[in-house]
Amino acid sequence: MTFGQIIKKLRRDADMTQERLAEVLSVSAQAVSRWETDTGMPDVSLLPPLANLFGVTTDYLLGVDITKKGENIAAIREKANAYSGRGYFAEAREILEQGMKQYPNNYRMMRDLMYVSFYQYRAASDPKDTELAEKYKSEAIDLGEAILAGSTEDSTRHSAVQILCFLYKDGENAKRAVELAESMPFMAISRDFLLPVVTDGDRCYKETQSKVFNLVQFLEVAIGNMNVKLDSGKYVYTSEMQAALRDKQIALLHLMFENGDFGFFDTHLHYIHKDQAMYYAKVGNNEKAIEHLRHAAEHALRFIKHMDKEPYTSLLFRNMPAGSFATTGTNNDAAELLNSMKQPVFNNIRDTEAFKSIRDELSAYAGKWNV
């Protein structure tokens, strides 16, 4: 490969634009273009910073194998994702931060680190550790904005937009969340919508399954988000109506997954049933509160015990691989439910045998993964 071909591939592998590379090196974009077309060469003084930028040697720039770099990046990301997929975010962070030192402008690795920061922010937010939560939130925002500034890969940019919307929506930059959301494609022209239409055979079936699965997730989450605070200052639904909405979420998931193979929706159901338990405890319906706590525990434990799922068996999703699921913090679902059960709203049922039984079962699995 020529010098220009090497520079062009390194830049693309790092998911950088010519303009971004020019900015980092304090040269013009036209100069970078000349390098990549082999109509010009950088000053010899630029070779060391150029090599350092891409995590290679100057000899590498002049013709050493490029394949090894891609393999190294893939290995780093795979190792980090194996930890983050189990909720071991500190370990994943250490691996990714070391990787970023070696490949500082690889936006896919940067995206992985952004996700880790986001999940650590969520974990630090409940129970609240304001200082730590703000640290992780700020880091995730900086990484996301860096991706948008330099990456040209749609999937990487869209991932950054998704996380940034969540991070900005409740803060001082809520308008930025709206701006980013409005920049995304309409659902009707999305990949999930179009691929089932333009493919045939096995591919069409798999894409249609994926589309239906994503629509179920979208609808379930959207129902949960319907109780918004209006401009008048009032909420759309009363507490009783909110409980009815949660019943609809539960019914939807049981309809879609009639065999009880909820996959990562087990963690959704854990939280939905937990909120139902809190509502019924608050209104004094202790029997219903215990019933929903028991269901919450069942789903929390099932999620922990089966993080690497067998393929789905329910009609709409049969033979669809369930995959591995990222968790939301250093605590697993059992530990998080135990923390919720400490709230005063459960004081009236705390000393019952049923409550103690649920608590003891959860305690046996708190802090464990994939048991």
3-class DSSP state of 232: coil
Alpha carbons 346 and 369: distance in angstroms, whole number = 27
CA 61-65-70 angle, 5° bins:
100
- Is 90 exceeded by the pLDDT of residue 172? no
CB 365, CB 371: distance < 8 Å: yes
- Please report, in angstroms and rounded to a whole number, the separation of the first and last CA atoms in the chain: 50
Q: Supply the pLDDT for residue 269.
A: 96
pLDDT in tens, 32-59: 999 999 999 888 889 888 988 988 877 6
> pTM, whole model, 2 decimals?
0.68
Question: Residue 127's pLDDT band (boundaries 50, 70, 90)?
Answer: low
- Is 80 exceeded by the pLDDT of residue 302? yes
Alpha carbons 45 and 40: distance in angstroms, whole number = 15
- Is 70 exceeded by the pLDDT of residue 330? no
Q: What is the DSSP letter of 267?
A: H
Alpha carbons 316 and 312: distance in angstroms, whole number = 9
Please state the separation of Cα 117 from the chain's center in Å: 10
pLDDT in tens, 226-265: 988 888 989 999 999 999 999 999 999 999 999 999 988 9
- Is 90 exceeded by the pLDDT of residue 82? no
Q: Per mean pLDDT, which range of 1-5, 95-99, 140-144, 150-154 is the poorest?
A: 1-5
Closest CA to 33 of 49, 55, 17, 51: 17
CA 222-155-191 angle, 5° bins:
60
Alpha carbons 66 and 118: distance in angstroms, whole number = 32
Tell me the one-letter amino acid at 247. Answer: D
Q: Supply the pLDDT for residue 331.
A: 55
DSSP-based helix, strand, coil % in the chain, nearest 5:
70, 0, 30
